[in-house]
Amino acid sequence: MTKSMTGLLTDILVAEGKLDDNALVSSIVPEFADKCIWISNCPTGDVYTRR
């Protein structure tokens, strides 16, 4: 339920223009800036809001 609600609320914010769905997560949540996260097709470790 939590993931569904988070997705729904995120889509609402994108539709209202309050959230850029191509933004780096670290630009929204600065605590993620120093994290080393590996996602396939994302060798830099950057995490985007929508991929």
pLDDT at residue 1, as a whole number = 73
Q: What is the mean pLDDT of the chain?
A: 76
Cα separation, 20 vs 17, in Å, equals 7
Nearest CA to 28 out of 45, 10, 44 is that of 10
For 13-29, how does the pLDDT look when each residue is reduced to its tens digit (9 = 90+)? 999 999 998 888 778 88
pLDDT at residue 18, as a whole number = 93
pLDDT at residue 27, as a whole number = 84
Cα separation, 14 vs 32, in Å, equals 20
pLDDT at residue 17, as a whole number = 95
Cα separation, 33 vs 3, in Å, equals 22
Global pTM reads 0.57
Cα separation, 20 vs 25, in Å, equals 10
Residues 6+ apart with CB under 8 A from 41: 51
The structural domains of the chain, with segments of one domain joined by +, span 1-51
